[in-house]
Amino acid sequence: MSQVTRIRQPELWSPESPKLYQLVTTVESGGQMVDRKETAFGIRTVAFDKDKGFLLNGSLTFLKGTCNHQDHAGVGAALPDALQYFRIAKLKEMGGNACRTSHNPPTPELLDACDRLGLLVMDENRLLGSDEEICAAGKARSSATGIIRAWSSGPWPTRNSACKARPPADRSP
């Protein structure tokens, strides 16, 4: 099944205005709803231009942030959702607009905090490629294709740390 809809004049997601829309998907069988899923998503445009740099919604955007491991002092890797939001909110308070994940796939809760609070995400990918050999070896989540499929509804513009977006030397913010 496939369905297409249009959103007229959407409000674009950005770090300054992290507008999210809600998609509600239901599955019915015999006239009864048997499953329901709500998916938050952002709408934005993204471009990497060799002369201009990284463009978010048509505007030159410099990525400012930190590299974050998934663990936290005192709680290890089992971070409560509130702590995920706290860390992202602090990064925003410091003037950040991006975070780079480190080594392991980020949790859905971290990505949700970034979506809602307005942080761009760079998801580390240690396997550069999406060829059949990588996917066949069971490493699809680590491949570029796997990352895109895993987090396709998020508004983040870049999901591969190989795309370390740095402005040209003569165009610092």
Instruction: Check residue 153 and give its pLDDT.
Output: 59
Instruction: Check residue 129 and give its pLDDT.
Output: 52
Question: What is the value of pTM for the model shown?
Answer: 0.72
State phi, psi for 22 to the nearest 5 degrees. -120, 125
Pairing of strands 21-29, 32-41: antiparallel
Q: Which residue has the higher pLDDT, 9 or 3?
A: 9
CA separation for the pair 28, 92 (Å, rounded)? 41
Domain residue extents for the chain: 21-163
State phi, psi for 152 to the nearest 5 degrees. -70, -20
Of 110, 153, 161, the closest CA to residue 22 belongs to 153
Bridge partners, 6 (sequence order): none
Q: In 3-state terms, what secondary structure has residue 40?
A: strand
Average the pLDDT over 14-40 and give the result: 92
Across the chain, what does the average pLDDT equal?
78
Instruction: Check residue 77 and give its pLDDT.
Output: 76
CA separation for the pair 52, 60 (Å, rounded)? 7
Q: Which residue has the higher pLDDT, 136 or 43?
A: 43
Mark out the alpha helices in 25-155 (DSSP H runs). Answer: 81-93, 108-117, 132-136, 144-150
Tell me the two tokens of residue 104.
């392991």
Average the pLDDT over 70-87 and give the result: 82
Reported confidence tier of residue 170, pLDDT bands at 50, 70, 90: very low
pLDDT over 80 (residue 98): yes
Is 155 exposed, middle or buried, given 0-12, 13-18 or 19+ CB atoms closer than 10 A?
buried
Question: Percent of the chain at pLDDT above 70?
Answer: 71
Q: Does domain 21-163 have CATH number 1.20.870.10?
A: no
CA separation for the pair 97, 106 (Å, rounded)? 17
Reported confidence tier of residue 106, pLDDT bands at 50, 70, 90: confident
